[in-house]
Amino acid sequence: MSKTDVFIRVFSSSELRLGFAIATVARWRMQQDCRVHVIQWADGLKYNWWIGHRKGEWIGEWINEPELPFATSSLRQAEELAKSDPYIICNDDNLPYGQDFVSNGLDIMNRYPDYGVISGVVVNGEGSEFEMNGPEVKEIHAVGGLVFLRKGLVTNFPQLEDCFWDGERHKQVVEKGFKSGYSRSLPYLHMGAHFSVANPAFFVGA
């Protein structure tokens, strides 16, 4: 079975955030079609991510400094280490729905070759009424959270904090002739709803 690389970016600044991360990593490791890699903020609350580690999976720690933000270093590591194309970038509080989440995502990426990055859609939180009516994939500016990204589209890594990276990714994807969008066929739970999503578009099913 071919496996898709999943990079989980763990920024465990509190006990609650660490709890989200533990649940997120455990959930992704239930997927037999993935290699789950953990990129942890070095100054965050510690946890032994080697528990449940599987062959071929990578675990690393990175600092968060103005000259090298964790957001930048973690995304750069994902692009450099990914063997699958596309690969998945996931924040540490995102839980995919269903065992077929990855296979559905890969199928959608295959059927929409003009899209360079496609995110899932958040199905919880205020204003997140989820409806299946409408296009399977909707073009939108600056997707984030949990995304399928084609390898080789994001190759420049400016020193930006996390809140600016969705826009930077979108810019680089568009520069290479692709679109950004989300798919209502890829629902996921955002455990940090109302606290860590900057783009309100991810709380609607429209």
Q: Is 3.90.550.10 the CATH number for 4-203?
A: yes
**Segment 39-60, tens digit of pLDDT:** 998 888 999 999 888 889 989 8
In terms of Cα–Cα distance, which of 162, 158, 6, 170 is closest to 82? 6
Task: For tokens 């449940």, name the residue.
Answer: 52
**Segment 99-137, tens digit of pLDDT:** 999 999 999 999 999 999 999 988 876 445 545 567 899
For CA atoms 96, 102, 107, 147, give the dihedral sign.
positive
**Segment 139-185, tens digit of pLDDT:** 988 888 899 999 999 999 988 887 788 889 999 999 999 999 999 99
In terms of Cα–Cα distance, which of 103, 99, 101, 122 is closest to 111? 103
Indicate if the pLDDT at residue 196 is higher than 80: no
User: Could you state, in order of their start, the residue ranges of all structural domains in the chain?
Assistant: 4-203
Question: How high does pLDDT run on average in the chain?
Answer: 86
DSSP, residue by residue, 86-138:
SEEEEETTEEE-STTHHHHHHHHHHH-TTEEEEEEEE--STT------S-SEE
pLDDT at 12: 86
